[in-house]
Amino acid sequence: MMIKMRVNGKSHELDIQPGESLNLILREHLGLTGTKKGCDSGGCGACTVILNGRAVYSCMTYGPKADGGDLLTIEGLSKDGELDTIQRSFAELYAFQCGFCTPGFIMATKALLDSNPQPSDAEIREALVGNLCRCTGYTKIMEAVRGVSKKGG
């Protein structure tokens, strides 16, 4: 079946199988492998992308449901070779080690700060509760998110 999506500002028309997930479409059809395939069951958050302005798990998003959608993935954040402020904050404050979960954390943070530029710690935790990190720990990640919001995102 044919679907249309706008991904990182670019329009795509894709021929997909009806059972494919958005994660598979991004990674296999579009080669956007920055969006990770982690648990593949809606439990780790590594596959988080922004669909129509809201954070979603791409592994849980039934592909055809994204037809007509406007998507932002980790590849769409940097501009002209310059890291986005969230990416820079994660790098400067050492908020990652292996980095596998990082795209998901950054996209969940992006969705949060787009709707709430000055979140409280409780609001940051609430927004990131669906993202798991197994090596950095959450203290540095919290610092990185606070760092962006203090600078005004």
List of residues contacting other proteins (CB under 8 A)? 1, 17-19, 21, 40-43, 45, 48, 51, 54-57, 59-62, 64-65, 108, 111, 126-127, 129-131
Q: Dihedrals φ, ψ of 120, to 5°?
A: -75, 170
Query: Taking the complex as a whole, how short is the minimal distance between the CB of residue 9 and other proteins, in angstroms?
Result: 21
Residue 121 or 126 with smaller CB distance to other proteins: 126
Query: Taking the complex as a whole, how short is the minimal distance between the CB of residue 107 and other proteins, in angstroms?
Result: 9
Query: Taking the complex as a whole, how short is the minimal distance between the CB of residue 82 and other proteins, in angstroms?
Result: 27
The structure tokens 């610092």 sit at: 143
The answer to whether the beta carbons of residues 105 and 78 sit under 8 Å apart is no
Residue 2 or 79 with smaller CB distance to other proteins: 2
Secondary structure, 3-state, 30-45: CCCCCCCCCCCCCCCC
- Give dist(CA 47, CA 38) in Å, integer: 7
Residue 42 or 153 with smaller CB distance to other proteins: 42
Residue 83 or 142 with smaller CB distance to other proteins: 142
User: Residue 67 is encoded by which pair of tokens?
Assistant: 């037809």
The answer to whether the beta carbons of residues 39 and 47 sit under 8 Å apart is no
Query: Taking the complex as a whole, how short is the minimal distance between the CB of residue 51 and other proteins, in angstroms?
Result: 8
